[in-house]
Structure 1
Amino acid sequence: MADNTLWVGVLTAGTAVVASWVTSRGTARAARIQAEAAAESQHVDRLRAARRSAYVGVIEQAQRMGDMYWKVTDVAGDPDAADRRGALTDLRLRLRDEYAVLRHRVWVVDLEGPAEVAEAANRLRRSTSDNYRALNAMIGDEAGAEERFNACYAPFWQAVLAFVAIAREALRGTAAVSPRGR
């Protein structure tokens, strides 16, 4: 009987050691999985924040340019040709500076991605070209230049709205898609 007790004790101890080993491996694996999930979640959060910041920068800059387009329209009504030309020339310089900021922000969006948002940002950037050409024509007193300039606002604004819609969808999809593939 003593021999059976010894074997039962050894078997119980062995079972306890194996159970402990299995439990510790499971706990270690669970901890590793949890750490990986937390790291991935933090990465997605950082990516989403960086993208959101880049997208907001483009939208804010487009709004500034849109405001300046309205100023051009206001100045175009000045009856004094010399004052009008001087103010339009000043606005053209300011718009050129604002365009440089927009171009920089579009590049940031291109870096942050995804490609659809970068393409929309680039279309928005390109939509400012007709406005600039029409403004130059206004400064040169070309016939119909003011109407051309005013006609350029709607396509510009449509490009802004398209960018906002695509950026919104990209941000909503950031949490659902792994950022590793961009």
Structure 2
Amino acid sequence: MAALTGATAVLASWVTSRGHTRAAQLQAEVAAAAQREARRHELTRSSYLAFIEQAHLMGVEYRQTPAILNINDRERRRTVLEEHRGQLRVAFGPFRHSYQVVALDGRSAATIEASDRVFATSGRIYKTLGAIAAGSRDPRVFFTDLHDYWSAIGEFVTAVRLEQSQ
């Protein structure tokens, strides 16, 4: 009888030990998953903020455009517009990079699609300015494109807010 009781105690101890070990493993796995999710959330948030910042820096460049479009001398306006487009190309590099990060790390289709619209409208503005410089587009088209750009940024911010609330 003593042997049976001893064997039962050893078996119970072993089973308890295995249970504690498994519980500790599960707890470690859950903690690691929570850390990964928190890190992914922070990286995504940072990429969204970087994209919004770069989009606004492009907007700073776009705010210089109306003064250029008001130049009456067509040749002078073309020259200044081409210089301005050069400045836009410089600003475009970091903007494009931040867009690509959002396209890769975005968590929802709505946010990625909204970033695509911001990126596309920025490209449209650049092409419009080239056509205005060449004399083949009316300068008023710029303002329509610019309105679309700021609307696209607003849609992106809204999509990010919705994503973050889920």
TM-score by length of 2: 0.84
Give me the whole-angstrom Cα distance separating, in 2, the residues matched to 1:30 and 1:97: 55
- The residue that corresponds to 2:22 in the other structure is 29
Give me the whole-angstrom Cα distance separating, in 1, the residues matched to 2:95 and 2:137: 29
Of 7, 13, 26, the match for 1:20: 13
Alignment of 1:17-96 (within 5 A): 17-78=10-71, 83-96=76-89
Q: Which residue type is aligned with residue 56 of structure 1?
A: L
Which structure: larger Rg? Answer: 1
Q: Structure 1 residue 18: deviation in Å?
A: 2.6
RMSD over equivalenced CA pairs, Å: 2.3
- Which structure 2 segments of 5+ residues have no match? none
Give me the whole-angstrom Cα distance separating, in 2, the residues matched to 1:143 and 1:115: 37
Query: Which secondary structure does the structure 2 equivalent of 1:114 belong to?
Result: coil
Give me the whole-angstrom Cα distance separating, in 1, the residues matched to 2:147 and 2:137: 21
Which range moves more in the overlay, 68-77 or 113-122? 113-122
Q: Which residue type is aligned with residue 130 of structure 1?
A: R
- The residue that corresponds to 1:134 in the other structure is 128
Which range moves more in the overlay, 70-79 or 124-133? 70-79
- Which structure 1 segments of 5+ residues have no match? 1-6, 174-182
Matched-pair contact (CA < 8 Å) for 2:114–2:155: yes
Q: Structure 1 residue 22: deviation in Å?
A: 2.1
Of 93, 99, 105, the match for 1:112: 105
- The residue that corresponds to 1:101 in the other structure is 94
Matched-pair contact (CA < 8 Å) for 1:124–1:163: yes
Matched-pair contact (CA < 8 Å) for 1:106–1:118: no
Identical counterparts, % of pairs: 35
Change (3 A) 1:130 1:111: closer
Give me the whole-angstrom Cα distance separating, in 2, the residues matched to 1:107 and 1:133: 20
Of 122, 130, 137, the match for 2:116: 122
Give me the whole-angstrom Cα distance separating, in 2, the residues matched to 1:139 and 1:42: 52
Give me the whole-angstrom Cα distance separating, in 1, the residues matched to 2:34 and 2:164: 15
